[in-house]
């Protein structure tokens, strides 16, 4: 089950998430059906009395060949034929288990799966059906294939997914390992206290010298052991007049001016700096507290905006795509502004913000939207995209690395652990189903 060119888990995901890559045009399945090797058909295997034919194997092998070529791989015909036969045996056994479990698929579910596949291929449902017929496959036959794959997906969900549990202890352990692997450290946090000797505008050189000497005297007193808090109350001309002993509060170091960080970088907690000059005047700084903040994982966030058109009886999906193509050309030519057009025509809640979707973590959008967004560079506008919500025109405006919130980290860890357990459990389940099935291999006719 660890074959290079076929992942059992990926087949399950394809079925569960819309069957686009497993049975859709993107996988060239229908085309393979119409161009299979023309030769006398014969039975190559029997699974619990149900046959698998040589033509079944050849059709699947051709699809797998194209997928491997798209990845720059060149497996042998014999190897792909073996993998295709193994896949068909496994699927046949799983389908039989689904029937035995009483699983039935409603027509509405097949309709939705068909529309998902059409959408993933940037086609309307009618266009998709026409393409099927052109490639030599009837709509009824295709829908029956969808029914089978949905049945397999349902039995897998029941037998595998429902049994997966991820504990809080496992989440904590996973996060510790990830932080260690990344060498992640939390931001340095500082609490500095300050005494400010303000220098009024238009001060003479003599007046500035007097203030500088006064600041030096106060600094020496602080370093000699006088209470910094009392000195701040007596002398500081900061806006808070030395309240709270001049303390500015614990905060990430980057929120302090670089001047303050340079003056205190080599000071231990409790030590006072030399006098520091800024545009506001003379500063005396004391390090009250310095600590390493909580370490956090980083993630790549994307900021994008979009224009969404929803197909209606008055505007078909094809017309919406054509309209957004015109909009894209106008924006690229500098004749129109993306934000202005989004406010005018986008049928989405983000319209009032010029289509701005804000900063988004991975996984926040539906897969078809996110895949296109992730391929775009900041400032780049993609081709119109068809999703389950309508037709989008997407522009990526910015991208950054940002710390993940505690909740996001835990969600990411839980999902990663669940996926790993699902992979392992699924492989074991497939092997169990195959082991309990009666499989008779047949020799080709002489």
pLDDT at 162: 81
Residue position matching structure tokens 């295997």: 45
Please report which confidence band the pLDDT of residue 16 belongs to, taking 50, 70 and 90 as the band edges.
very low
pLDDT at 29: 39
Least confident of 57-66, 303-312, 351-360: 57-66
Do residues 234 and 284 touch, judged by C-beta distance below 8 A? Answer: no
Average pLDDT over residues 36-40: 49
pLDDT at 294: 66
Least confident of 89-93, 379-383, 386-390: 386-390
Classify residue 197 as exposed, middle or buried by CB count within 10 Å of its CB (0-12, 13-18, 19+): buried
User: Percent of the chain at pLDDT above 90?
Assistant: 58
* Of 351, 337, 336, residue with least CA distance to 392: 351
Helix (H, G, I), strand (E, B) or coil at 17: coil
pLDDT at 317: 84
H/E stretch holding 14 = helix 8-16
Distance (Å, rounded) from C-alpha 37 to C-alpha 15? 26
What stretches of 245-396 show up as alpha helix (H) in DSSP?
258-264, 317-332, 338-345, 367-375
pLDDT at 372: 92
Domain with CATH 3.10.50.40 in the chain: 188-292, 298-403
80 Cβ contact partners less than 8 Å away, ≥ 6 residues apart: 5, 61, 64, 65, 68
* Of 94, 80, 48, residue with least CA distance to 426: 94
In the predicted structure, residue 186 carries a pLDDT above the cut 70: no
Average pLDDT, whole number, for the chain? 86
Domain with CATH 1.10.4030.10 in the chain: 8-165+422-441
209-212, long-range: CB within 8 Å, 24+ apart, which pairs? 211/281, 211/282, 212/275, 212/277, 212/282
Average pLDDT over residues 183-188: 66
**CATH no., domain 298-403:** 3.10.50.40
pLDDT at 273: 95
Distance (Å, rounded) from C-alpha 340 to C-alpha 179? 43
**CATH no., domain 188-292:** 3.10.50.40
Please report which confidence band the pLDDT of residue 38 belongs to, taking 50, 70 and 90 as the band edges.
very low
pLDDT at 117: 84
pLDDT at 357: 96
pLDDT at 297: 80
The CATH fold assigned to 8-165+422-441 is: Triger factor/SurA peptide-binding fold (1.10.4030)
Handedness of CA 239, 245, 246, 252 (dihedral sign): negative
Tens digits of residue pLDDT in 249-275: 998 888 899 999 999 999 999 999 999
- Give CA 61 to chain center in angstroms: 32
pLDDT at 19: 41
Average pLDDT over residues 404-421: 89
pLDDT at 82: 92
Q: At what angle do helices 406-436 and 77-100 cross, to 10 degrees?
A: 90
Average pLDDT over residues 208-236: 94
């Amino acid at each position: 089950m660890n074959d290079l060119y076929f992942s059992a888990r990926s087949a399950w995901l394809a079925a569960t998430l819309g069957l686009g890559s497993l049975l859709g045009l993107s996988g060239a399945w229908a085309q393979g059906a119409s161009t299979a090797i023309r030769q006398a058909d014969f039975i190559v295997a029997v699974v619990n009395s149900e046959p698998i034919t040589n033509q079944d194997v050849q059709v699947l092998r051709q699809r797998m060949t194209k997928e491997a070529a798209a990845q720059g791989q060149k497996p042998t015909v014999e190897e792909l034929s073996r993998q295709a036969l193994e896949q068909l045996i496994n699927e046949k056994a799983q389908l039989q288990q689904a029937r035995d479990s009483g699983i039935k698929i409603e027509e509405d579910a097949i309709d939705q799966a068909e529309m998902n596949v059409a959408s993933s291929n940037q086609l309307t449902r009618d266009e998709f059906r026409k393409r099927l017929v052109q490639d030599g496959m009837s709509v009824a036959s295709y829908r029956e294939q969808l029914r089978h794959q949905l049945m397999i997906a349902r039995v897998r969900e029941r037998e595998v997914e429902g049994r997966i549990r991820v504990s809080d202890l496992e989440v904590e352990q996973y996060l510790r390992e990830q932080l260690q692997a990344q060498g992640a450290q939390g931001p340095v946090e500082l609490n500095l206290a300050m005494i400010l000797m303000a220098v009024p505008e238009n001060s003479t050189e003599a007046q500035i010298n007097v203030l500088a000497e006064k600041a030096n005297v106060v600094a020496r007193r602080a370093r000699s052991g006088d209470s910094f808090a009392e000195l701040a109350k007596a002398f500081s001309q900061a806006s808070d007049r030395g309240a709270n002993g001049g303390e500015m509060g614990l905060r990430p170091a980057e929120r302090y001016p670089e001047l303050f960080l340079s003056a205190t970088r080599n000071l231990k907690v409790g030590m006072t700096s030399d006098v520091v000059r800024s545009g506001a005047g003379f500063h005396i700084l004391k390090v009250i507290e310095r600590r390493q903040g909580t370490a956090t994982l980083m993630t790549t966030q994307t900021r994008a905006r979009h224009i969404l058109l929803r197909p209606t009886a008055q505007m078909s999906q094809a017309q919406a795509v054509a309209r957004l193509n015109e909009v894209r050309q106008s924006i690229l030519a500098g004749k129109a502004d993306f934000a202005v057009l989004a406010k005018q025509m986008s049928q989405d809640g983000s319209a009032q913000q010029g289509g701005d979707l804000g900063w988004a973590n991975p996984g926040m959008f539906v897969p078809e939207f996110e895949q296109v967004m992730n391929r775009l560079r900041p400032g780049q506008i993609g081709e119109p995209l068809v999703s389950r919500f309508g037709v989008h025109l997407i522009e990526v405006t910015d991208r950054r690395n940002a710390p993940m919130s505690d909740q996001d980290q835990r969600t990411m860890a839980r999902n990663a652990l669940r996926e790993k357990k699902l992979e392992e459990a699924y492989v074991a389940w497939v092997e169990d189903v195959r082991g309990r099935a009666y499989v008779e291999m047949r020799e080709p006719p002489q």
